[in-house]
Every structure is written in C-alpha cells, then in structure tokens.
Structure 1
Amino acid sequence: MSEESAPFNLEKTYHHQEVEDRWRSAHWEALGSFHAESGRVLAEGKTPYTVLMPPPNVTGSLTLGHVLNHTLQDIFIRYSRMTGKEALWLPGTDHAGIATQTVVEKKLRKEGISRHDLGRKAFLDHVWRWREEYGGLILRQLRRLGISCDWRRNLFTMDDRASEAVINAFTALYRDGLIYRGTRIINWCPVSQTALSDEEVIMKPRRDKLVYIRYALAKRPGEYITIATVRPETILADVAIAVNPTDPRYRDLVGELAVVPVAGRHIPVIADDYVDIEFGTGALKITPAHDPNDYEVARRHNLPVISVVGKDGRMTDQYGYAGMDRFDAREKILSDLEERGDLERVEEYEHNVGYSERADVVVEPYLSEQWFVRMKPLSERALQVVNDGEIRFHPPHWINTYRHWMENIQDWCISRQLWWGHRIPAWYDSDGRVWVASSYEEACHLAGTDKLVQDDDVLDTWFSSWLWPLTTLGWTGTHSDNDDLRAFYPTDTLVTGPDIIFFWVARMIMAGLYFKDAVPFRDVYFTSIIRDMKGRKLSKSLGNSPDPLKVIDTYGTDALRFTIIYIAPLGQDVLFGEEKCELGRNFATKLWNASRLVFMQREKWFGSLDEFESAYSGFSPDRTTFAFAEEHVLTARYHSMLDRYHTAFGQFRVNDIVRNVYEFFRGDFCDWYLEALKIYLSGISDADAARKAVLLSVHVLEGTLKILHPVMPFITDEIWHYIIKRPHGRSVALSSMPEAEKEWLGMDVSLLSHPRAIISEVRSLRSLFAVPSTSTAPLIIRAADAAAADLLAADSNIIAAMTKCDVQITASAEKPRHAAASVVEGNELFVQLEGLISFEKERARLQKEISNIASYAASLKKKLENSSFTANAPKDVVERERDKLSEAERNLEKLGNNLDVLAG
C-alpha cells in the first residue's frame, strides 16, 4: 500500500505478520515518531510526560513479564503523545554484574580458561565483546513488541556518561559521611565468590536435619544443655549459648559455662530476648560469624567472632575438617557427635533456605569487610514524600509494604567481589589509608603520593540503577544540569513489579531527593504477577512460561498486547494461558472485518476516494440530520465510552480502558450499528442521508482506531491509512486523541434505544419458544405512545430484518391467540406462534421442564424448612439456597405463562 494513496478497501483476510512487518518500530523510528525534544517544552511550553524504562538485563530475553510491563508503558506513552504532550520514553539496559560475568566465565571455561588466567583487563575486554555481540537481543525483541521509545537516547549502565554519574555519586555520598567501609554479615555466594544483595537471593523450601546436640556444663558434672540446629558444622564457631530471660527452664543456668562438642571450648550461657522459647529446645547456640542475628547478639554481649567456613564454602577450622565442603563436613560432624555420645536425636525439618539466583547454590552468611550506604538518613524524607502523596502508588496498598521497609531499613551493602561493573573509586596507600576520589589523579592529589592501589571490588548493580531517572536524562554529578533535566525531570510514571519496591523504587526515590532535591517520578504503577492457569508463577524450571515470540508468531503482537492487558486488572494476579490470546486475535479480526464493511459502504456511496475525503474533511455528527435511531444511540454511547476511557487513564485503570473499548466496539458499533446500517442502506433512495450515515460510521471507526492505538499499534495504523490519503511520514501515533463532547454526554437516548431493546426481546422470545431461525414470524408492537410509534415505524425495516419478523406497529391491538408476549419500555410485543412451531411438542417440552424445576424447588423448600439446616449452616449458605428457590419459583411462573400461551 502506498502512503500517498489508499485504495478503497483492505485485503479480504487479516494477516498479522504482513501488517506488523510493515509497521515495525523501525518504520516509526525512521519517521522520528517517538522523538521528544526539550526545546518544545522549554521554549514552546508543551507539557512534558516522561516514562522511565526499567532497564532489562543485558543478558535477558523477552518474557511475558516484559510483555506486560512494556505494553503498559507503551500505552501510557502513546496515549500522552496523542493527547498533545511532549512524551519521552527513556530506554536502556542494565549491565547485570553477576549475571553477565557468570555467562562470560562459563563461556571461557568451555575453552579451558579462567578470568584469573586472563587478568582483569583482558577479561573485561571479553565481556565487552560479548556485550556487543549478544547484549542487544532484549532490545531487538522489545522493538518487535512495537514499543515507542526515543531510541536515540538508549543508555547502557556501563556507558561513560552513566559511569561518570556513578563515580560522582559514590564520592559525594562518601564525603557526606553516608558511605563507609565496615565488617558485617552479608549474603555470600561460594561459587561466584561475591557478596549478594537480598534481591539476588532466592528463597527455596529445603528438607534438612534438625539436630539436637548436648553441650556438657563445665561446672556441673553429668549435666548438659541441649540445643537444636540445622547447621551442626558451625558448632565449631560457637561462642555462647543463649536462652530467653523469661524461660524458667534455664533461669538458673545463665552465667554457667558449657563445653562446645568437638572443639572443647568453654562458652557462657547468656540471656537474650532474641531467643524464641518455642523453637527447638529454647536454647540457641550463638555463631556470630555465620548468622546475622547471632552477630547482633554477639555485639550486644561483647562476644568474640570465630569463622569456620571460607569464601569457597569449604571448612577452615582447626579440628580436622579443614578443606572439606561445608555439607560434607556437616555429615562427618554428625557421625562424630553420635560416636562421642553428644547427639541426642535427629528430626526431619523443612524450612526456606536462601540460594544464589545465578549459581543456584545455598548462600553462606559470611562475615566480611564491605562498603555500605547509611540508609536511615536517606529514608526519612523518602518515606515522607510517599506518605504525603507527592508520589502515588497504584494500587495504593503497596504503600504499607513500602512504609514497613523504610521504617525498618538496614544499611545497604554496595560492594561486590566481581570484575564486571563500576569499580569502587577508592585507593589505598602503603599505610592502608583509604582515599575516595572521582579519579586516580584526584586520589593521588589527596594522598600526596602516586603509590596507590585501587579497591578490587565493583559496585552492586543496583547502585547504578538507583540513579536511572537522573542518568537517562544526562546527569553526571551532584551539581550537573542540562535542558533535558530541566524539561523532563521529575519523570511522570514508573511501571515496575512490586518485587523490587525495596531494591529499586525506594532507592530511586532516595537518590532523587538527595542528588536533585526532587522526587524522581510522580506515579508508580505496580504490575500484576503473571501465573499459569493453575495459579503457579511462571518459571523455566516448571516449564510453564510460554515464549512470547512464539505467541506473537501464532497470534500476532497486537493480539498478545490486547489480551495481556484485558486480563490484568490493577492489583490482581494474571492467570495466563497461550490460548487466551485467541481473544485478542479474534478482536483484531473483528476490527479488520468491521473496517472492511465500512469501507465497502464508502465505496458504494462515494464515487471516488477524493469525493469521500472532501465530504469527510468537514464532517461532524449532527443529531438533526440523523435518519435512524441507531445513529443517535451510537454517537451518544461513543462519547460516553470516550469519557470513561479518559477517566480510566487518569485513574491508572488500564484494564478498564481495554474492556470499555472492546465492549463498545463489539456491541454498539459492530453488533448494532453496522448491522442496522446495512439494513438501512439496502433499501434507501436518499443518497445524501446514506452518505451521512456512512460518514458517521467512518468517524466512529477512526475514533476507535485512535483510542485503540496505544494498545494495538500495528493494526490501527494500518487501517487508519486506508481511511483517507495520508502524506508520507504520517502515523496515527501522532494524531490527536478524540475527546468526549459534553453535548453528547448529556443526551437522553432511552427512547431512541427502544428499537434495540425490542430487537433483543423478540430474539429472546423466539429462542424461548424454539421458533426456527428460518421462519418469519408475525410481530405486533403496541406502541407505548405516539412518539414511540413514530420512532419504531421509522426503524421498522431494521427491526424486521434483525428479528426475522413481519412487523406491524399499532396504537391499539388485542393480544392475538397463541402469541408470545412481553413488554419493553411500555411497548407491548406479540410474536404469533401459530404455524411456526408444533404446539404439542412445545407443550410436552415445557411440561417436562416444569416438572424438573418443580422437583428441584421442592427439594430446596424441604431443605429450608429443616430448622437444623437453617440454624447451623452459615448465614450466607442459607441465603444462597433461598435465592435458588426464588429463582426456581420465578422460572416456574414464567414457564407456566408460556404454557398458557400454547393452551387450547
């Protein structure tokens, strides 16, 4: 199809591959459709709207989670662009420190090489080459999804600009006393041999042995105290046994010394509120080097710290287990304890254990010297802006989760023992003093020597991510500013998962307030969790996560986008099965076929596309020229739908947006207006009225395409280009979003809806009495008043065609014998059945149905008359049974009336 001239109609069949290939984002990008400029905000006064893409990992590939998240963002940005805002969507990818280093190291191991063989510089060269070759996969896949980012601004967290910002942020925080180096228990991965953030630790259920071990009391021969543990290998590092001060079983033992089995050390029995009286024996061994809670107990009681598990997960003790894997040592120690007579008993115990997300091994709590950010000074204001509504959460219940975490915040371990990432800008002199600076030269100047060695560690990936709202807009330091920041910061809407509310959302808020003295965004939309049809989270291990690209191949991108939004209400989990995309595919086909029907009528009533375009350019729906009732109803409901559409956007109810448009288009437009239009035009001789009816159909179709475009960008742009000739470079993406007009919102269409209601009721009566669809039935309508009679008479041919009836409209008429009757808005309907059905067979069918329902009603009545049931059953159960009885009685009455119609 040429963009300069559109043919009268679409191809007969909708082929999503062809349409999507034609309108891939590469085409839109070539037109500059998604570009946003700060000058249009600062100089021309346009309202900015900014969305921040959560940067996918450079190692990633498209998942259904990405589809939902990025489709939502695309909907927000396309809608804002079409409502006249300078809409900017900032894309980028995250360097994913551990994930990327793991991938490259695995590749090197296949070649028999380790990173240590290569050295740091050569290894990083390998990582950069891998990134250049494979790191753009996720962005190419996102482009296939049709997302409308300003791709010129694509940022990688290891790009020079982002790296400069990270270094400057670190040095500023350090100089303000908010970054320090200290020793604490952290999550340690023995395989990757690095500290991990909580986000990189996956909790999994695991069955272990709960071991009960006797500790002899040094000054009480023959007496002992029993503790329960799942980690017997760490008894070698015990420094105390703690009991709860309120526990009467151990009150007299506080202050005594116990003997550590195997190690033979004497350790004190201490009292601490931390101990849970109900767990195990109520006595807890304290191993501060291997448990963060034990470490805090040890600090409170000024206890020593002993470590017996090394960085590689192997034992480092002096009792004969050194060099053994920690789990092998566990089994050996159990055997030795049993042989010594110190093992009391063993129980099976299921509990949640932390695993390294990347290496899939049990994480080791490890006492280590690391770099930390003091979070409490940063968190107070970050909590306040959410409490005060300066930042709004959607749905708002996530505020409670955010508040709980911020009020109990711990310092953030930001150092990682990796080579891939932002290297910590700290240098050490020969005396061990640390010099933090933005460059080696600055550090040398501060230290007064060039004999400095840089810290080997890199920063946690989240340290670059928390600066994302700033770095994507060109911020590189604490005082840097530019036109993009002035125009587009703060950003507007962040779409993200609730699982990273602590690791990313909260930290970005803290960073924005600290470095820019402003919130980073105004609204946070938390996406649903996608589950399979059994309610399980999607995962590769379960094999229940469909490949979105294969779904797109089968059903189409628009179908997938439409479906996943249609089934994802705000704040509720999504149950997704690939077959659900039939909903989106069927709707896309409906949209295509309805457009073809409209264009066929356009071709019939307009001699050329130029003639149509001339008439359409000045067209505006005018109720005084409408020729049949459905025109009024359609226009009023169209504007009502537009009003709900824009309201839902303002309330972040994207699911309601899709459902509203879907119901309007399928129901009001296709099932009613287009069906009525075909009938109306088939017998009309007034060409002017016919053209106006066609113009209205195109007008509403184009408006529907525009409001659907944020959700289904490909098919809507394709059809939009068939309405009139479009100049090169035009896209529906840059057109104006239709607005609801107040005059139509206030319009009362109750009278005008009578033909539609009557058609529905007559169809119901035909179905109720099993009137064959091939038979034409006589229909008498006794109009409620003169106005109704005139309206129904004007639309009688439409009523007749859509009900397959011969229609007679009268002001007064007796009810015919053997006629199915009903009343709609005061209009009495009589469908004559004589000669259309077998009264004998129909009476037999009705009597059988009456008998079945009567029997059912009798059983319900008997149950409700049973005082034992009504007294003991839950109130809601009793009410449901009463409702069932009432419905059965109504059905009996209705069927009895129908039987009377067939009597005699």
Structure 2
Amino acid sequence: MSQTDFSHKNLEKNFDPKTVETRWSTDYWNQFGIYHAEPHEVLESGKKPYTVLMPPPNVTGSLTIGHVLNHTLQDIFIRYHRMMGHEALWLPGTDHAGIATQTVVERRLRKENVTRHDLGREKFLEHVWQWREEYGGLIVKQLQRLGVSCDWRRNLFTMDETASRAVVNVFVKLYNDGLIYKGKRIINWCPVSQTALSDEEVIMKTQKDPFVHVRYQLADDAEKFITIATVRAETILADVAVAVNPNDERYKDLIGKEVLVPIAGRKIPIIADDYVEIEFGTGALKITPAHDPNDYAVAQRHNLPIISVIGQDGKMTDEFGYKGMDRFDARKKIMADLEAAGAIEKVEDYEHNVGYSERADVVVEPFLSEQWFVKMKPLAEPALKAVEDGEIHFHPERWINTYRHWMENIQDWCISRQLWWGHRIPAWYDEEGNIYVAHNEEEAEKLSGKKNLRQDEDVLDTWFSSWLWPLTTLRWEKPGDDGEVFEAFYPTSTLVTGPDIIFFWVARMIMAGLYFKGDVPFRDVYFTSIIRDMKGRKLSKSLGNSPDPLAVMDEYGTDALRFTVIYLAPLGQDVLFGAEKCEQGRNFATKIWNATRFLFMNRNELFENEADFAKKYAETDFAPDPNDEAEKWIFSRLNSTLKSYHGAMAQFRINDLTKILYDFIWGDYCDWFLEMMKVRLQKAETAAQKQAILCKAIFIFESAVKALHPIMPFVTEEIWQNILQRNEGESISEVKIPEPLESWSQEAAEADIEFIKKTIDEIRSVRSVLGLPPATVASAKANAVSEVALSRLQNNAEYIERLARVTLEIGMGIEKPKASAGAVVEGTEIFILLEGLVDLDKERARLEKEIKKVQGYVKQLEGKLSNEKFVSKAPAEVVAGEREKLSAAKLNLEKLNENLASLS
C-alpha cells in the first residue's frame, strides 16, 4: 500500500449495520480479548475495579426487548468505566431455570410417549444436559450480537461445578447455623408441574368467580344459622371452624357455639379472631387451614385440627362422594348440592386476583406440605440496614420504600422443589427418618454411623443458586476460601435489574453477601423501566405485542435499537416502545456516518497521504482559534456537552446521555458546525489553515464519537478505526472518553452563535413561507438593537449570508424598507426585501398569523405574572426570567405590528 493510499480509510457510501457489526463483534473484539479483565491489574497495578453482574437469563430463554434494555444499560455502565480507566469486569452467565427447563424436556419426551419416570432420574438428567448443550447457548449468542462487552471466558452456568459446590456449602452452613429447617407449612403448589413454587413463579391474574353465601346451621338449634361467603366451595369439606371478629356485635353471642359443616355434617366451633375483617363479605369466615395460608395461621393460634381434601394433582381426596374429581368440577357439583339442600343464601360475581403457575398457566393451589425453609428474619435485618444506611444506593430511590416494606414483613423462604433438574438437596435419611445434612453421602454416613442412606429427592429453588450470584460468578465456593478474582472484584459495583425481582433476587443477594462475606454484594442498584407497547400495555407473547429484537436489529441495525431503547427510557419511568421508533436511531447512525464521510473526503483532499495527516493531527493544538466565532462556539459546546455527559453518568441518568449526545452531534455539529466549516474552508487562504480547521473538526467529532461508544459501539468502532491507522488489537473501547476542559468554555461565543443560529433560522423560515427556491439569493437588511447585536452580526455575516442564502446589509437605525418581510431576533429586526420576489398579500397573511401567535404568548405570560400565588412562591430568578420573556415578547409584537403596517 502506498503512502498516498487513503482507500482503506474511506467508508462505504451507505452505512450497512450488518457488515460493521460482524466485523467488530465476531472478528475483532472476541479475537483480541478486548473485554478481558485481570485481577492482577487491580491487586498489583492498582487499577480501580468496576464490576457488573449480568442477571442470568434462563437457559431456556431467547432475547426480548426487556433483555435489550437491561443489557444495553449494563453495557453502557461497563464500557464507560472501562474507557475511564477502570479494570472493568462484566460477569456473564445463565440460569438453569429448574421448572422451565424440566418442563421443556418433559414436553419433548412426551412426543416420544416417554415420561421422566420411565427413564429414571439419572437417564432423565442426561436428556436435560443434552438439551442444554444443544439449545442452552442460544441466548448467549443473541447477547453477543447485541454487542455486550462481557468477559466471556468467565461465563458461568448455575449448574457448573464451582457454583454447585458453593450451593452445597451454603446449605450445610445455614443448616448448621440453625437457619435452614424442614417443616410443614402452606406453600404455593403447581398441580401440573407437581412442585412447590416460589412467590415470583406465581402470576396474579384478575378473574371473576361466584361468591357463594352459604348457611351453616347451628348444632344446637336447627332454626338458626350463620352465613359465610366463599369463592372456594370445594374446600368447605375441609372446614375446621368459623371465625368472627371479637368486636363484631352481630356475632358476639355465637362465639363458642358449634355449627354443622354443610355436606360433611361435621361439628366445628365458632371462634373469635382479630384477623377477620368485619366489613368483608358477611363478617364470618370459614377456616380451612390445609388450603389457605391465613387460615393455617388462625388454626395454629387456636390449636385447630387440619383436614385436606385436595391432592397434589388438583383432584379431590374427600370421603363425601367427590373423590377423584377435578377441584373445579367439584366446585360446581358442590354448589349444586348446596343449592339442592337449601344451604345457599345467594351467589354474586366476585372479581379478585388469583395466582397462576408461571410455567403451567394453571391456578396455584395453597397446599400444606413438608418442605425445606430458610429463616429469613435474621438475614433480613442487616440487609435492610445496609440500604437504609446508604451502603447500597437504589436508583431511583423510591424503591427503598418497597424494599423496606417487604423486609419488615418477610416470611420464611420455601427452598425445596419437587423436581429432578437442579441442585439436589444435600440431606440424607436413615430408615427411622432421621436427617443428616452433609456435603456428600460419605460425610452423611460418618455423621449417622450408618450405611445405605437415602438422599432427599427434592432439588433447591432456582433462586437458591441465584442469590449467591455475586459470589459464585467470582468463583467463590465457601467462607474463607476467596481467590484472587474474588479479592480483586468483590464487592461488585452496579447491578441493573427489573424492580419486579427486588424481593426475590436483589434482597436475597444482599442477605447472602452480608452473611457469608460480611460485606454488601454491590454498591448501586439501577432499576430498569417497564417496557410497554404504544398503547401502554406490557409486552407479552399472549398479546402478540412484543417485537422480536433480532428482527428489529435486522431491519434497523443493533446500534439503532440500543440507542432508541435507551433514548426512550428515563430513570424510573415506563417505556412506550414500537419497533418503528428505531427509525430515529437508524437516522442518527446514518447522520453520523455521512458526517464522517464528509470529514474523510476533505481529509483525503487536503493531505497527500495518511502519514502526512497523522503527523499534522498529532501536532495540532486542539484549542479554538480566538478569531473565529464558530470554532470558539463548538469547542465551548463540546466542553458543556462533556460536562453534562459525565454528570449524567454520575447521577445514573443514562437516558440523558443519549439526548445530550444527540443534541450535540446532530444539532450543533452536523447541522451547524459542519456547514460553518464549509464556509471557513472556502475562506481559508492557505493549505495549512485548511488543514488546521479540518484537524480540529475531526478532533471534536472523534471526542463525541468516543462518548457515544458505550451506547452505539459498532458504528463508533468503525469510525474510530478509520480516522487514523490503528494497530491490530486496538479498540475505541480502551480509549479514554475526553473530560471537559474549562479553557474551552466560551459563554460569550455560545451566546453569539446561538443568536446567529436564530437569525439564520428566522430568515430560512421567512424564505420557506414565501416559497423562495433554495438557489435564490435574497437581499436582506439587519437593524441591530444594540452594539452587542451589531458586533455579532458583523463578525458572523459570512455564515448568515451563506447559510441563509442572502446578501446582508448590517447597521443600527435602519428603517424598515417598503415591501419587505420582517423577522425579529432578540429585538434585532431582519428585513427581507420582497420587491420582485413574493406575493405581498401572502406576506401580510403570514404576519397576521405570527402576531396572533405572539399575542397569545404575551397573554399567557401576563396571566402567570398576575397570579399572586406564583409570584410569591416561585424563586426570584424564575419570576425575573418570566418578566424578561414578557418584555422580549412585547418587543417582538411591536416590531411585527410595525412590519405589517409597512406593507399596507
């Protein structure tokens, strides 16, 4: 390649996202290990660590728009801190998703008329592992396509050996510490999956059910009865009491008496308990402790017996003629039988929330079962204190209240699942049923002094491995056994997650970190927004309103999707997303691409070869020319932009990053500065002057591209690689994002150019209204309202003339010419001479419309300033600002009226 060859540094005419994405994601970033993080850089070289944990997506999952938002946010955090000099580690991984994975594999086996019980546990698990090898890496590949900058060497699966050993070690320690126990309690039960469920695996749905008012006859008086109301008539057969509030005057005389359970005929007591709400239903509740957690608590307080009439399969187990019937079929039959017996007083429709199994989509059954539990209160207290004391910061802060409410009312955690796929509970039993919790069977035999022990059949809740995620991703296995990776990168820095799992994952990780390491697992938690469609509905497969991110990336490009989803997502607010909105991101990428091509075209014309450009670029003093307003303005805007950008990141206002950069790159740089630069290049007298102008322009653009890289990594990498010759293995990902430089700050220049921009805009607006062709150069006069305005106009006249397509006469005291169109900018009048250009009647109509608009604005401001409440309570500077607006508006109105008069 010759020194004069710039061809490899020229971008294609059109931006092709697929080509660019493939080049950097697959062929470069991974090949050169750009995103590897090393503990020795922290422990030996003293670099500050920055660690992000990837919330592990289910191994059964595929990419959703929710994943796109969550992982793009994480990627922005990690790329930003990597570029700011941290040893940045993003720890990836996937979750084994116990119920979901077992359901998928069992469904696959059913097509072959095989059940897991036909295969046996060992063979079935072989099928699961085979499925995982075949399909489990799908979402990882999709995330890589999204451009996430993880250290993929450290990818962890929750069933990996190190993570599995940590789970066992933690279970044994908690058991030995008295925090894990086995006991009977009411749990969520899925009759289809045949397992206990955690609260987060239960989806609440609103539905209508018959609210049946049933008469319970008093045992000692056939003429008297007490009425209860229930939506679960099938559980009447398991009633052990009727409860009323002790303060309910209606029932005080009945407390202590007995009633007969309809159909069952069993005598049960009427008891008093504060749990009963006087105003709800009839104020009398049937107590069925085997089928309702609240009833179970009442039964424990009153030492009541427990009767169950619904089995694990959701079918009746009673002795009253309904045995074997589905619970809902039995409900209808029992209601009919109650009606026939004259026991139903009335039936109403009742709308309420009902829990459904997330996977099986069937109504969850409250079920009394022997399960393993973790005592949560001792773990919750320090975890709550850590957040309230500010050791962990929530963004937005309002989630602290939700967190506090849950932690103060926390219940013990049911951790056992009746599945085969997952971490098997490390507990063994002898023939007498004695329990021995141990790390392995050999240790259990030593504890028991016996052979032929039987291991517990259940596995642990998937979240029991996930709550250890900040520990296990850093290869921690047990207390006191920390490696160098753990030492370097724990505690982690920022967790990005949805608020819907604040209890089930965030809170439990905090508990685990404090209990097993004595330190919080992360310093900041960023809660993502809820994504909704354009109608405000949550995205869901059932509604068919959830766009396929891969299809969106195919159509618009990955950078466009990443930019758009962040642009739409202010901290703590819902996101209204439609795939078509990604057109904004695509247009932005195209705008950046075209600006780069324009810069490169000028670079290739002004420099003989690449080495010549590189030398000049390295030698350029990147400071504004004191004699050029546009250059002073753009450097000052770059300083303001970088200040706002870094400030927004420090305050976790990630959405603001997109707006800050969009406004600067598209608005300030592309729409205005590049146009001004064309004027400056034509005006420059020497090649050296032109080269200096271009180098500064490229520097400013490169600075913005670096700041944009965490949001749009592909297009920015492509551009950066082509600005100069880069060494193999170099990446923009490892280049520092520029800091603001106060010497660039030129408030006066910013004010000057903003005035010039408004002037050009006003002239363009008038030209548009008048229908002037772009090629037509009009004559214009500017009547400056002050010396400052006069100076601004004179110093930047060439920009106005070239960008507004006018010849301009500037002065003070210029009278409005006859037959001219006027505009007013901060009191300065701009006149476009109309003779021979336009229809004067049309211009009169335009002025009348503008006058009406300004009159409305004046009226609005006057109304606000006449409001004593506003004037007395608003800050003085706000009131002063409104008065200045009113003064300027009145001046504009005066000038517009004069302009209209001049046309008469």
Shorter-chain TM range is over 0.9
SS in 1 for 2:289: coil
| Distance verdict in 2 for CA 1:891–1:756, change over 3 Å | closer
Amino acid at match of 2:319: Q
Q: TM-score, normalised by structure 1?
A: 0.93
Q: In the alignment, which residue of structure 2 is the partner of 1:544?
A: 545
CA distance in 2, matches of 1:735, 1:831: 49
Corresponding position: 1:734 with 2:766: no
Amino acid at match of 2:346: R
CA contact (8 A) 1:820 1:901 kept: no
CA shift digits 1:672-705 (9 cap, x unpaired): 1001111222343222221111011100111111
SS in 2 for 1:615: helix
CA contact (8 A) 2:425 2:460 kept: yes
CA distance in 2, matches of 1:465, 1:618: 53
CA distance in 1, matches of 2:384, 2:50: 24
CA distance in 2, matches of 1:850, 1:492: 56
CA contact (8 A) 1:775 1:836 kept: no
SS in 1 for 2:632: helix
Amino acid at match of 1:673: F
CA shift digits 1:619-652 (9 cap, x unpaired): 23223x3553111100100111001100111100
CA distance in 1, matches of 2:85, 2:809: 52
Deviation at 1:767, TM superposition (A): 4.5
CA contact (8 A) 2:260 2:268 kept: yes
Q: In the alignment, which residue of structure 2 is the partner of 1:578?
A: 579
CA shift digits 1:87-137 (9 cap, x unpaired): 000000000000000000000011000000111001001100000000010
CA distance in 2, matches of 1:218, 1:443: 54
Amino acid at match of 1:19: V
Q: In the alignment, which residue of structure 2 is the partner of 1:318?
A: 319
Corresponding position: 1:76 with 2:77: yes
Q: In the alignment, which residue of structure 2 is the partner of 1:701?
A: 701
Amino acid at match of 1:612: F
CA shift digits 1:437-495 (9 cap, x unpaired): 11111111111112311111100000000000000001011221111111000000000
CA distance in 1, matches of 2:892, 2:223: 83
Deviation at 1:221, TM superposition (A): 2.4
CA distance in 1, matches of 2:724, 2:383: 51
CA distance in 1, matches of 2:852, 2:385: 67
CA contact (8 A) 1:642 1:738 kept: yes
| Structure 1 segment 816-831 matched on structure 2, within 5 A | 816-822=817-823, 824=825, 828-831=829-832
CA distance in 2, matches of 1:600, 1:494: 43
Paired residues, what number? 878
CA distance in 2, matches of 1:674, 1:107: 60
Deviates more, 1:743-752 or 1:475-484: 743-752
Deviation at 1:274, TM superposition (A): 0.9
SS in 2 for 1:692: helix
Q: TM-score, normalised by structure 2?
A: 0.93
CA shift digits 1:804-849 (9 cap, x unpaired): 1112234664443344445546755333223222223433565688
CA distance in 2, matches of 1:164, 1:576: 42
Deviation at 1:789, TM superposition (A): 5.2
Deviation at 1:421, TM superposition (A): 0.4
Q: In the alignment, which residue of structure 2 is the partner of 1:603?
A: 604
Q: In the alignment, which residue of structure 1 is the partner of 2:645?
A: 645
Q: In the alignment, which residue of structure 1 is the partner of 2:661?
A: 661
CA distance in 2, matches of 1:850, 1:811: 24
Amino acid at match of 1:282: G
CA distance in 1, matches of 2:746, 2:840: 48
CA contact (8 A) 1:188 1:363 kept: yes
CA distance in 2, matches of 1:2, 1:279: 88
CA distance in 2, matches of 1:757, 1:892: 17
Q: In the alignment, which residue of structure 2 is the partner of 1:86?
A: 87
Deviation at 1:778, TM superposition (A): 1.5
| Distance verdict in 2 for CA 1:274–1:796, change over 3 Å | same
SS in 2 for 1:215: strand
| Distance verdict in 2 for CA 1:851–1:731, change over 3 Å | closer
SS in 2 for 1:87: strand
CA contact (8 A) 1:629 1:791 kept: no
Q: In the alignment, which residue of structure 2 is the partner of 1:105?
A: 106
CA distance in 1, matches of 2:703, 2:852: 52
CA distance in 2, matches of 1:551, 1:149: 22
Deviation at 1:798, TM superposition (A): 1.9
Amino acid at match of 2:368: L
Corresponding position: 1:249 with 2:250: yes
| Structure 1 segment 468-547 matched on structure 2, within 5 A | 468-547=469-548
Q: In the alignment, which residue of structure 2 is the partner of 1:54?
A: 55
Deviates more, 1:787-796 or 1:581-590: 787-796
CA distance in 1, matches of 2:278, 2:366: 24
Deviation at 1:268, TM superposition (A): 0.3
Amino acid at match of 1:640: S
SS in 2 for 1:748: helix
CA distance in 2, matches of 1:131, 1:477: 27
Corresponding position: 1:379 with 2:380: yes
CA shift digits 1:499-537 (9 cap, x unpaired): 000000000000000000000000000000000000000
Q: In the alignment, which residue of structure 2 is the partner of 1:879?
A: none
CA distance in 2, matches of 1:609, 1:208: 77
CA shift digits 1:578-634 (9 cap, x unpaired): 1000000000000000111111111222122211111001223223x3553111100
CA distance in 1, matches of 2:787, 2:234: 94
| Distance verdict in 2 for CA 1:19–1:627, change over 3 Å | farther
CA distance in 1, matches of 2:83, 2:189: 49
Amino acid at match of 2:200: E
| Distance verdict in 2 for CA 1:184–1:826, change over 3 Å | same
SS in 1 for 2:492: coil
CA distance in 1, matches of 2:222, 2:731: 89
| Distance verdict in 2 for CA 1:6–1:491, change over 3 Å | farther
Q: In the alignment, which residue of structure 1 is the partner of 2:368?
A: 367
Deviates more, 1:346-355 or 1:740-749: 740-749
Corresponding position: 1:461 with 2:476: no
CA contact (8 A) 2:824 2:896 kept: no
Deviates more, 1:144-153 or 1:340-349: 340-349
Q: In the alignment, which residue of structure 1 is the partner of 2:834?
A: 833
Q: In the alignment, which residue of structure 2 is the partner of 1:295?
A: 296
| Distance verdict in 2 for CA 1:321–1:628, change over 3 Å | same
CA distance in 2, matches of 1:56, 1:121: 26
| Distance verdict in 2 for CA 1:846–1:707, change over 3 Å | closer
| Structure 1 segment 769-780 matched on structure 2, within 5 A | 773-780=774-781
CA distance in 2, matches of 1:2, 1:420: 62
Deviation at 1:231, TM superposition (A): 0.6
CA distance in 1, matches of 2:62, 2:845: 63
Q: In the alignment, which residue of structure 1 is the partner of 2:188?
A: 187
CA contact (8 A) 1:25 1:146 kept: no
Q: In the alignment, which residue of structure 2 is the partner of 1:871?
A: none
Deviation at 1:890, TM superposition (A): 9.8
Deviation at 1:723, TM superposition (A): 0.4
CA RMSD in angstroms, aligned pairs only = 2.5
Amino acid at match of 1:613: A
Q: In the alignment, which residue of structure 2 is the partner of 1:146?
A: 147
5+ long unaligned stretches in structure 1: 865-884
CA contact (8 A) 1:243 1:272 kept: yes
Q: In the alignment, which residue of structure 2 is the partner of 1:867?
A: none
5+ long unaligned stretches in structure 2: 864-885
Deviates more, 1:537-546 or 1:682-691: 682-691
Q: In the alignment, which residue of structure 1 is the partner of 2:875?
A: none
CA contact (8 A) 2:826 2:888 kept: no
CA distance in 2, matches of 1:135, 1:752: 56
CA shift digits 1:22-57 (9 cap, x unpaired): 112552011110000000000000000000000000
CA distance in 2, matches of 1:13, 1:414: 55
SS in 2 for 1:169: helix
CA shift digits 1:240-259 (9 cap, x unpaired): 00011111111111111000
Q: In the alignment, which residue of structure 1 is the partner of 2:869?
A: none
CA contact (8 A) 1:777 1:831 kept: yes
SS in 1 for 2:221: coil
Amino acid at match of 1:899: L
Amino acid at match of 1:202: I
Deviation at 1:741, TM superposition (A): 0.7
CA contact (8 A) 1:6 1:723 kept: no
Amino acid at match of 2:267: H
CA distance in 2, matches of 1:731, 1:809: 50
